[in-house]
Structures are given as structure tokens and as C-alpha cells.
Amino acid sequence: MTLCLLSAILILLPACSSMKSAPSSLADNAWFSEGRAYKQSGVSMPGGYISVFSHGADFYANVAIIGINEPNRYELCKNGTETIYSPKNGCIDCASSNDEGIWIVETEKVETNLDEKIQMVSYSGEVVKSFALNDIARFDSSVYTIRCTSEKVYLKSPDKIVAVDNSGNYLSEYKVQGDSALVIGNDDCAYVANYTENGIEICALDGDENSPSFTLKQSDYNVYSGSEEFFLLMANDTGLYGLNRDGSQEAVIIWSDCGISLSRIMGIVALPDGKFLLLDAVSTSLLSPAEPSDMHKRITLTLATAGSADMVRGQVQLFNQSNSDYYIEIKDYSEGGACDTATAVTRMNTDLISGKYPDLIQLTDVSPYFYIKKGYLADMCVLLETDPDMSLEDIAIADQLMVDGGIYFIDREFYMDTRVGYYSDFGDVYGWTFEKYLDVEKNAPADMEMMYNTTRLSLLRSLSSRYMQSAVDWKSSTCDFDNADFIAILEAVSRIKETPEPENFQDLDTTPVYVRMKEGTLYTAAIWINSVRALAIQEHQAGAKLSVIGYPTVDGGCGTDFTLEVPIGICSQSKSTEGCWAYLM
């Protein structure tokens, strides 16, 4: 089958390269970091975590699992693998623990109302105690944080903190304003960290004259509950620090010195034996103390991006956690979106011209052909020839990735941007002609759309992006649109019946596409397929066999675009192509 690769998704993003050196042991060298030696390893979670906490040597997570063709469900799992509790008709808003058990705030839908309650669940999963929140205290907004000491349970909403005892009896409450965190010190007392313009105020709840109360001048930290060693913990993009009762601080882990990969810290949970769980926007990982002599210097690789860094953070983090020889740093020239893509690309191109090369280049939004012509991207076919575990035949769309006989960008996944229609209307085809499109449209009911919100301009734009590959000669920098094929496209597009988008959002038809297809008000539906399972789900929703037909074409050929999720190239000037290849494969 002829496959059409949408070339408009690719961009070249040159960046600064980091120092490279051969991996070596630190056995003969003194530990070089302000912090301690730690190693990072991945932790599995069955879904997206909402809150994570520890008890003894175990950690527990309240996770949300997104359902496919079924409602979402919420689970309380132990050590990332064992589910010990799941509400039947509600969700777990937050959870924490003490020696009595696991305390959760659960919201259950009862008819048209939301019933919010606090429950204690045993460590084997039985509900031991349950109290309606409204019977304890009046909350103007939802409780989103719960923390426990040995004798008290603290419930935090945006405007107040309420303390109850282990029997669910109201004890006291405290007003909070602005951004703050409820934490438990290693003295088994509760504290609130108020983030202010002047710094971070640490204030004791139910404290006496001996309870710590001070202000940290630093404002770029987040404060977390304490550990066996430290009164409280705090972290920022540089590292993890222990906070003592007098306000003094000690560096525990400097992320970069230990090669720890993370993306926007969401939480730190202390475990026994000096271990920590690191929660970030991408994943959960375990940080374990290590002997400096066991630490392994890794070759640092730079992955350049101009604003799409979030698309690669997860994969980079997994690679950094599992590979002992290479460590990837992301160089985002948009500075987290502070500047637009055009400005970021200009900055990167300036570095590229001046000889500051990256190792890996994330390719999005801009054609790479100019950079391929200039020799800035490496031909991966050369690496495929020397890889004993991978060959050109293993790449499903290798022929569509070829540029002048080489492959200069690749990704682990691709998806099909296509359209589907009922098999009874199309049969065993993978494309359809403009003649069929116009014939069906001519005889279709007045309320039937051929394609959702189709205009001449939108259809021409879609067809032109595919036709561009044959119309443009990148070597000679010439193009040809004065030919029979393109004229036929223009003539066919000019004859379609437009269905403009509604002017007002309120007029938008939000009826599911397969409902409209069954009703006979929509002829084809747009879908994005990245697996056989995804196609099976589409057929399940449609309730009938489907034909994958793509957009109509002049000759009835394939109208499906194949798009790489995150196309990446290797800079031809990288000194560690083996490491780059290890990441891509």
C-alpha cells in the first residue's frame, strides 16, 4: 500500500552540545557533589497518581485509571502493584495514613448530589470508619489534602485546615490564605508552609512554645513532610534539601550531579533507610542512597527542542533511569514557552551556524530538508547497517521516511490521520476518488455532511499538504503546480458543497460522529489510529465494520497521512552517535 507521510510535522532545532567523555568509575575520585550519592530507578503505577504517602517500608498511592468505553475508576494501591481498595460509586480525592489506618476523602455521587466523606481504611482494604464531612465541619470548597499525625487527621481546603481526632471528632480549624502546603514534621506535628512574597513561612498547628516557627528567605522551593533524618524536606529544580528545626538547610541530592532526570516536581515522599519517592509531572521514581564508588559517570547528550519539550520529557526520563552509560539533557530554546517557536528556532540556528551542535534534535512543525541538504543531520541507514538487532525491514514506513536514499528522522511510533466510512459503502479499498465523493454528495440527503465542517479551503489545504511532496523539488528549489493533476484537484474542490463551521460555539453540533453516521447525517468520520486496538475501538463504537479510506484523491490512491508522534534526528556532528542510537531504539 502506498503510504503518504505528512511532511509538515517536522522541524530542525539545533542546540548547544554538552561535554562528552567516556563512561568511567568514580572509585578513584572523591565525591564531587554538595549533596550525597543517589541512584534513580523507575516505579510502576497502574494509573495517574493523585496522592502518594508512605507507612513503614511501604508506599501507597491514590491513582485514577482512565477507562476506555467504561467509567474512570479510582484505586488505592500498595507499592505500585497491589490494589487494596477501590470505591464502587465515587472517587478518592486525597489520602494519607497513620498507625490507625489509611485515611481518605471520598466523594460519591448520590442521585444529583455529591456526598463527601472521610473514611479510614485498614491496610488490608476494609472500611473501618466513615464520617460525613458536613457532620464534622463546614467546607466552602472541596478538601484536596489530608495529612495525619499519630493522634490527629488534618483536612485542607483552599481556605481552611480542620483537625479531627482518630474517632472523627472535630478539634479545631485554621484559616489559610494564598498558596500554602500542609506538612508533617518528623516530630509528629502538623505545620503549614505559607508561600509569600517575602519567602516561606513555616508555622506550627497546635504547637507550643517549643514548636519551630520561622521564615525561609528562599521562594523557589516547595516544602514537604519530613524524613527520619530531617525535620522537613524542600526541593526545587536544583535538588532536594533537608530542613532542620532551626531553619538551617543541608543539601541531600543535587539532581544533575547524580544524573537524576525529572520534570516539574510534584512531590517528595520520605521512605526508611534514606530513600525517597520522587513524584513529577511525568512519572514516579525511587531515589536510593549509593556508594560514591558505585556511581557511574555517564556521557551527557543534548536533545534540542524549540518549545515542544513536554512531548519528549517522559521518554527522556525513562531512558535516563534505565541507561547506565548515557544521560540526556533537554535544551529548550523557547525557555519553556517564554518565546515563540520562530524566535526559538532562530536562536538554535544561530548556535548551529556558530558550531554549537546538539546530539539529538526534536523535529516538529518545520521541514528538515534544508538542514538535510546542509549535512546537519546524520543518515540513520548507516547505523542500521551496523545494528545486529535492528534493520531497515523492521521499520514499517521506512520507504516513506527516505530522503535521497537516507533516513534522517525517526520515532518509535506513528499514527494514521485518516477517515473511515462504513464497509457497506466502500468495501475493500484504502482510498476513494473525487468522482465518488461528488457523486455521493450529489445524491445525498440535504442534511448529510460528507466530512465534518468541510469547506473548500480546508479540503484544499489538506490535499495540498500531501500533493506538496510531488510538486516541490527540494534539490533544485523549484515547484510545479501547473499540471493536470493539480488542476483536477482545484476543479474538484470547487464543486464540493461547503458546510461551514457555526459562528457561535452554542450552535456547534457535539453529537458523536458514529451516532451521526448511523443517523445518516455524516458520511465519513475523521480518526487517528496508532494501533490495531485503536481501530478495533473505532469499529466497536461504530457498531459495524469500517473501511479506512482517508481523504478523497484524484486517482483514488491512498488518502491517509502517516505522522510520526515525536520525530527526532541525530546531529551529524554528535560525538556520541552510539548513545543517540541507543535512545532512539
Amino acid identity of residue 250, one-letter, is: E
Task: Give the whole-angstrom CA distance, residue 191 versus residue 202.
Answer: 7
Amino acid identity of residue 192, one-letter, is: V
Predicted local distance difference test score (pLDDT) of residue 508: 66
pLDDT in tens, 134-160: 899 988 888 999 999 999 999 999 989
CATH of 32-294, one of 3.20.20.210, 3.20.19.10, 3.40.50.2000, 2.120.10.30: 2.120.10.30
pTM: 0.65
Domain ranges of the chain: 4-16+299-409+566-584, 32-294, 414-564
Mean pLDDT confidence for 197-209: 85
Write out the E strands in 272-403. Answer: 276-280, 284-289, 296-297, 299-305, 326-332, 360-362, 402-403
pLDDT in tens, 223-282: 999 999 999 999 998 999 999 999 999 999 999 888 888 878 999 999 999 999 999 887
* Grid coordinates of 547: 473501511
Predicted local distance difference test score (pLDDT) of residue 325: 86
Q: In which band, very low, low, confident or very high, does the pLDDT at 36 lie, cut at 50, 70 and 90?
A: very high
Task: Give the whole-angstrom CA distance, residue 312 versus residue 318.
Answer: 10
pLDDT in tens, 341-378: 889 888 988 888 889 999 998 888 677 777 788 888 88
Per-position DSSP letters for 548-576, written without gaps between them: E-BS-BSSS--BPEEEESS-EEEBTT-S-
Fold of 4-16+299-409+566-584: D-Maltodextrin-Binding Protein; domain 2 (3.40.190)
